[in-house]
Amino acid sequence: MPKGASVYWISLGHELAQVNKHSRALVWAVLWLVFLVAQSHAEVLEPEEKRQYFTHSISEPGSQSTLSSQSTCGGCLEEMGVLAKASEGKPTLRRVSDAPDKDPPKIKLNGDYFLGIFSDTKHILLSPLNWEASDWITASLVLGTAGVFFALDNDIREFVQDNRSGGTDDTSAVFEPFGNGAYTAPAMAAYYLYGRIFKNEKAERVALLSAESFAITGLFTFALKYTSGRSRPGVGVNSGDWNGPDFEEISFPSAHTSTAFAIATVFATEYENNPFIPPIAYGIATLTGLSRLNDDEHWASDVFLGGALGYFVAKTVLKLHSDKKGRHYTIYPKVSKKETGLQFVYRF
């Protein structure tokens, strides 16, 4: 980065540290929205990415019949190779055509959208009933890691507070608002309005998915808060003080962190082809969580499980609104002067 640019951003950060908390949050929110709008607008101007379509023909020995398969990605050629090897014919590979990726399902702000939030919430609540072995392994790893944080909560708090300074407080004040619904909700609304005004369906989709993830994550977060009744570290108790159900002591899990990661996950996933947005989104969410430790508002385990909750809820919401439900197969007959057989088409 040019020296002048480095000086500029350092100066900007210093100036932000001097203004009050609310003004600082507003400035950062505006900068973030400007960045997203610029990236989203650039994405619209870029030509739509195309995938190569290939046909793979397998002729049976001593026969004029042909089994042909078609794929939309080069990565699928390995499976076609297995198919070719399974038969005793000699495969031929040729390019058929170029075709664009299928657009993701459109999401509109209407009654169906709000009804969908309820149905998606129900799906998430009941999803453990349909988990596979890999899902249970993931859940076990998350809970196991959380257990480690529970055991180290007091030590981590002592370390963070011993190293707390004016600099960490300034940094915390900058990133804390990204987990505060009073700021994130208007920001999502503004991004949605941008998409509506400028006919950017991707921006509309991201804003609405972020809002849904934010709402469902918030529901689960506060249900856990009121049920567990865990005391915050700043009230002078140790990490093992649980008094739930309680509507005053609501430390577990961190709502700021769950909110930040729910929104960050949507942006990082929907704009995964942009090299800047995923690291920026997850970086902001991580710093938001760390700000809660610095401010002595949460235990480390609160922050970790809050982040995990926001991440997995958002991932599930994205999956429910995706057309990538798995492999799509189509089989239809193919007749030509040179070959007769079946055309086997599959898309990932």
Write down which residue in 63, 79, 100 finishes a domain. 100
Residues 6+ apart with CB under 8 A from 295: 169, 172, 176
Q: What domain count does the chain have?
A: 2
- Phi, psi at residue 240, to the nearest 5°? -95, 15
My answer on whether 60 and 162 are in the same domain is: no
> Which pLDDT value is given to residue 325?
46
What residues make up the domain containing 72? 50-100
Over residues 20-39, the pLDDT tens digits come to 555 555 555 555 555 565 55
Any domain includes 10: no
DSSP assignment of 4-56: HHHHHHHHHHHHHHHS-HHHHHHHHHHHHHHHHHHHHHHHHHSPPPEEEEEEE
165 shares a domain with 62:
no
Region of poorest pLDDT, from 49-63, 153-167, 246-260: 49-63
Note whether 41 and 86 are same-domain residues.
Answer: no
Q: How much of the chain exceeds pLDDT 70, in percent?
A: 63
Asked if the structure places residue 292 within a domain, the reply is yes
Domain shared by 86 and 117, yes or no: no
Q: Are strands 65-71 and 50-59 parallel, antiparallel or unpaired?
A: antiparallel
Q: Which residues contact 134 (CB under 8 A, 6 or more apart)?
A: none
Q: How many CB atoms lie within 10 A of CB 253?
A: 29
- Do 58 and 110 fall within a single domain? no
Residues 154 and 61 in one domain: no
70 with 90, same domain: the answer is yes
Q: What percent of the chain has pLDDT over 90?
A: 57
90 & 109 share domain: no
Given a cut of 80, whether residue 134 has pLDDT beyond it is yes
Q: Is residue 290 included in any domain, yes or no?
A: yes
**Look-up: residue for tokens 């057989």?**
341
- 56 lies in the same domain as 164: no
Q: What is the pLDDT of residues 263-320, one digit of tens each?
A: 999 999 999 999 999 999 999 999 999 999 999 999 999 999 999 999 999 999 999 9
User: Is 4 a member of any domain?
Assistant: no
Which of 67, 82, 100 delimits the end of a domain?
Answer: 100
316 shares a domain with 194: yes
* Closest by CA position to 25, among listed 165, 184, 150, 141: 184
Q: Are residues 59 and 171 in the same domain?
A: no
Pair of tokens at residue 79: 């499976």
194 vs 60, residue with greater confidence: 194
**pLDDT at res. 236:** 72
Instruction: Work out the burial of residue 210: count CB atoms within 10 Å of its CB; fewer than 13 is exposed, 13-18 middle, 19 or more buried.
Output: buried
Give residue 122's pLDDT band: very low, low, confident or very high (50, 70, 90). very high
In a domain, 336, yes or no: no
Question: Could you read off the pLDDT of 94-103 as tens digits, one per residue?
Answer: 443 334 445 6
Q: What is the pLDDT of residues 196-231, one digit of tens each?
A: 999 999 999 999 999 999 999 999 999 999 999 999
Give the side-chain half-sphere CA count within 13 A for 246: 14
Query: Which of 61, 83, 100 is the last residue in one of the domains?
Result: 100
pLDDT above 90: residue 119: yes
